[in-house]
Amino acid sequence: MSAEIEKREKKKNFRKFLEVQKRFLPLQSQRKRREKQNDKERRNAYRNMADTEVEATKFFKKTQSCKRDE
């Protein structure tokens, strides 16, 4: 008798567990997506810095040449 009650309780608890998991799945996938995006940004950070430096250098050279022309 008590074995059947334990079985029912386990099934009930397992169902509750699955319901909770269903609720958290979208949140977990969002977190993974965010982590992937952050990893990409971190990996590309040095490229972005290099591009910014190149752009700044070009701009600086342009402004310096304009000042010389005056």
For residues 2 and 65, which has the higher predicted lDDT (pLDDT)?
Answer: 2
Question: Which tens digit of pLDDT belongs to each residue from 1-60?
Answer: 688 889 999 999 999 998 988 888 887 788 888 899 888 888 887 777 778 888 888 888
Interatomic CA distance for residues 28 and 21, integer angstroms: 10
Question: What is the token pair recorded at 39?
Answer: 């990893």
For residues 65 and 30, which has the higher predicted lDDT (pLDDT)?
Answer: 30
Query: Structural domain boundaries of the chain?
Result: 1-70
Interatomic CA distance for residues 14 and 50, integer angstroms: 53
DSSP element (H, E) containing 1: none
Give the confidence band of 68 by pLDDT, cuts at 50, 70, 90.
Answer: low
